[in-house]
A and B are shown apart, each in its own frame.
Chain A
């Protein structure tokens, strides 16, 4: 090794050491305050996942859910602002009865009812107490109180005596548990933080629930509840142990899917439709497959491969079905017997292919388009709101969109020409300037997500701009978004909001900055970032108790 190369080597070593100590020095979590202990209604996904985890895969729900409300860009934040309507309760009750009937029927009781009654046609309080206590603990995400359990045992007793059927009594008791607010709502309870005088934190069961719903999108399992019951979860070591266990589980995929389903606004697919005459390739099958393509891509990149979050905007790897292959006009070869569900195959596009990154997926370009035409405005707005956490105001009520909507205009034959004509109105120009230059880069994708190079016989110009950076086409846009610091900052904000169920407070600003630094230090790997959040104090720290903590 020459002197100069040794010198360079030493310098690099010194820089690396300095960087290491800088990161280590920054590793201390700053104090934060704010956030509330909330009452949050279970999302449909959380309800379904909880039932699946408690009773098994084969139990059908048999009902529908009330719509959630998107607040601050997330349904998760809206869950703290919704109640249950009378019609909604009917549905919850229908589902509860359907589930309870299946759990106690002859096919399932041997495995799901863990005790055997003394007689099948008479009450057995001991057995009922054992079953309802075990199940209630998982449903309520904490041990039932003696009074709660006594009540349900009496209910089961009376029903069994009246119906002359022990399992019918059990069914009534279980139905009660399933329609209880203790199950339908995550009730977060605060307690004084012994380590910080005057501060509060979630109690151990609320902590277990917040952790479990973040990482698994489901109710805490037995082991996590035991850690809460023993108090181990309130210790740093105990928390670290549980976080590591949850992160290493395959069920982490459910948590990641739930977060991105919320963040990407996939609930809007419920009302998505395309003109079947213009876009015959966009079938109803694609409504589900478009979402699944993106979720599979994300899970594979971020969880399986432990990749860089920013690469979701540039990755050339994805998963396709035959129907998606038709939509995208790319080959998808898969063995499938007639009349069986379509299978997924991993696909990698060649370098430079315009379909790189999830901004080119149908789940983005089709979701953020009109039924019969593409929309650079909707796409640009969605990109700013979803990935940059920027709010784009709605258009004024008195604007004419005639120019933009006239896709057969003989003069303005491309979307670019039509939106440019629309911009002569200065009232419109203000907002369109921040949306359209982004969305126009995706104009190679029609309203359904199909690729095109021309519109009305005119070559499509896909040049675009974001924050002064000019680019061309979907790959240029993807790379620009990938490199934008606002993207990771927004992601941190969204993830923390999702985890806590509320928009960050000013008192949490320092923590978010810290979290961004940690995210960067961890090379934007999602599991590592989730670990940072899940083991942080800020995640469980709340303002003073909103309710008196009388019940555990």
Chain B
């Protein structure tokens, strides 16, 4: 029998106050005495943070699939007649004929045909177009304001590091102006959330309605979100935080003017794969959480992320990411490697991480969180 006790009353009361930003956390074991108030949320939307504007790709938007593949075939020495014949069977990436094998395995030796996504360096850098604009979302991770940094459109903070946005921001599938989502991420999150466990956030503090210290827990739950009739995640669902160490993070944070930010620390979460890196890791992580009047929150998460992990998330999508989504896998590989701006390899000097930012939204939820997790990183 689950005795709801005082908890239920707390839910009932907070759930009805318009300004209540979330629901209480149940402590399965002994509750931590230091937290007088807890609010918890389930992530309802997660996407790469972008800020696409007219003219932000000086080289132009990356060409569509047909144009790109014709160009690739031309670079491979195919005659216009051969290209016409091959592309006649392309059929949106699903047609018969040799064109797909040629494109999929381009650049590999004749006796050992392998997918170019798995071996991107078997073709020269196609030098995809990248973003060059003033505005971009994220955080100033290195404390510097340089030529390769943006200004955040919301906070007007300068020195924003988000080279991931710069690298892929000229693909149509990765372009959007908030609150719209890039097509790729909209699809990816929708397809991912039914088959992966929910991501949850809890805020613990003495009085979350006031400025002050707050402990932020960001982790994975043991349950998947239940959807509304319109396909969105439900509010007020109960989740149990997965206390496997790699599955949750605890940050020291502070609230100022209602906005929560954290002290930089490592971030990691196992995603379940699919359309996200299998294990998402960030270093020097920063986060900003802004409450909404309806009890939900919006957030921004940023840090340095291993670029190879990002790349293989795309390569893992296979040839379809090129033939149907319109990406250029070797181009992404080279762009990420070239624009990487963090964690240099001590031997080669190559930066192994790239600055990245993600935006998310979260709805009030009930999170069962064992007390032992309430310890900051």
A interface with B by C-beta (< 8 Å): 276-277, 280-284, 317, 322-323, 325-327, 329-333, 335-336, 338, 345-350, 353-355, 451-454, 457
Contact = CB atoms under 8 A, between A and B. Distances in A.
A280 B228 contact: yes
Contact of A332 (B5, B12, B235, B238): B238
Given A325-B366, A348-B1, A348-B2, A353 B234 contact: no
A347 B232 CA distance: 27
B4 interface: yes
Contact of A353 (B9, B223, B229, B368): B9
Q: Which of B4, B195, B224, B227 has the most CB of A within 10 A?
A: B4
Interface residues of B, number: 36
Contacts of A346: 1-2
Interface in B1-57: 1-9, 11-13, 15-18, 23, 26
B280 interface: no
B229 A349 contact: no
A142 to B, nearest CB: 45
Given A333-B240, A338-B195, A346-B1, A326 B8 contact: no
B118 interface: no
A451 B12 contact: yes
B273 to A, nearest CB: 14
A452 B13 CA distance: 9
User: Can you list the 8 inter-chain pairs with the closest CB atoms, starting with the nearest?
Assistant: A280-B228, A453-B16, A276-B229, A329-B236, A346-B1, A331-B238, A329-B15, A331-B366
Given A325-B237, A326-B236, A454-B16, A331 B228 contact: no
B1 A317 contact: yes
B270 interface: no
Contacts of B366: 325, 329-331
A276 B5 CA distance: 31
B2 A281 contact: no
A333 B7 CA distance: 14
B137 to A, nearest CB: 29
B6 A276 contact: no
A355 B228 CA distance: 23
Contact of A276 (B8, B26, B228, B238): B228
A350 B6 contact: yes
B8 A336 contact: no
B2 A353 contact: no
Given A317-B1, A333-B240, A349-B8, A338 B229 contact: no
B226 interface: yes
A39 B303 CA distance: 76
Nearest to B367: A331
Contacts of A322: 223, 226, 237-238
Contacts of A282: 229
A333 B16 contact: no
Contacts of B195: 338
Contact of A333 (B2, B11, B227, B229): B2
Contacts of A327: 236
Nearest to B366: A331
Given A331-B11, A350-B5, 16 more contacts: A281-B236, A317-B1, A322-B226, A322-B237, A322-B238, A326-B236, A327-B236, A329-B11, A331-B2, A331-B7, A331-B26, A331-B368, A332-B2, A332-B238, A347-B2, A348-B4
A336 B223 contact: yes
Interface of B: 1-9, 11-13, 15-18, 23, 26, 195, 222-224, 226-230, 232, 234-238, 240, 366, 368
Nearest to A336: B223
Contacts of B11: 329-331
A280 B364 CA distance: 14
Given A329-B15, A329-B23, A452-B16, A350 B3 contact: yes
Contacts of A335: 222
B48 to A, nearest CB: 25
Nearest to B364: A329
Given A326-B226, A346-B2, A348-B2, A333 B238 contact: yes
A284 B368 CA distance: 26
A327 B227 CA distance: 12
Nearest to A276: B229
Q: Which of B17, B223, B236 has the most CB of A within 10 A?
A: B236
Contacts of A330: 4, 8, 11, 366
Nearest to B6: A350
A284 B229 contact: yes
Contacts of B227: 283
17 contacts: A280-B228, A280-B230, A280-B232, A283-B229, A322-B237, A322-B238, A325-B237, A326-B234, A329-B366, A330-B8, A330-B11, A346-B2, A347-B4, A348-B2, A353-B8, A353-B9, A355-B8
Contacts of A326: 226, 234-238
A259 B223 CA distance: 36
A280 B237 CA distance: 13
Contacts of A277: 230
Given A331-B366, A331-B368, A323 B226 contact: yes
Contacts of A349: 4, 8
A199 B15 CA distance: 63
Contacts of A281: 228, 234-236
A333 B368 contact: yes
A458 to B, nearest CB: 12
Contacts of B13: 453
Nearest to B237: A326
Q: Which of A329, A354, A452, A457 has the most CB of B within 10 A?
A: A329
Contacts of A354: 12
Nearest to B368: A333
Contacts of B18: 454, 457
A457 B234 CA distance: 23
Q: Which of A327, A330, A354, A457 has the most CB of B within 10 A?
A: A330
Contacts of B226: 283, 322-323, 326
A453 to B, nearest CB: 4
Contacts of B5: 350
A443 B238 CA distance: 25
B12 A347 contact: no
A348 B4 CA distance: 6
Contacts of B15: 329, 451
A90 B341 CA distance: 73
A276 B3 CA distance: 31
A528 to B, nearest CB: 26
A325 B1 contact: no
B239 to A, nearest CB: 9
Contacts of B3: 347-348, 350
A98 B202 CA distance: 53
A64 B5 CA distance: 44
A283 B1 contact: no
A27 to B, nearest CB: 38
B185 to A, nearest CB: 22
Nearest to A353: B8
B169 to A, nearest CB: 33
A330 B6 CA distance: 11
A454 B224 CA distance: 31
A500 to B, nearest CB: 38
Contact of B4 (A284, A338, A353, A452): A353
A399 B8 CA distance: 42
Given A326-B236, A326-B237, A345 B2 contact: yes
A350 B11 CA distance: 12
A280 B229 contact: yes
B228 to A, nearest CB: 4
Contacts of B224: 338
B88 to A, nearest CB: 42
Contacts of A284: 229
Contact of A350 (B1, B8, B238, B368): B8
Contacts of A348: 1-4
B234 A280 contact: yes
B195 to A, nearest CB: 7
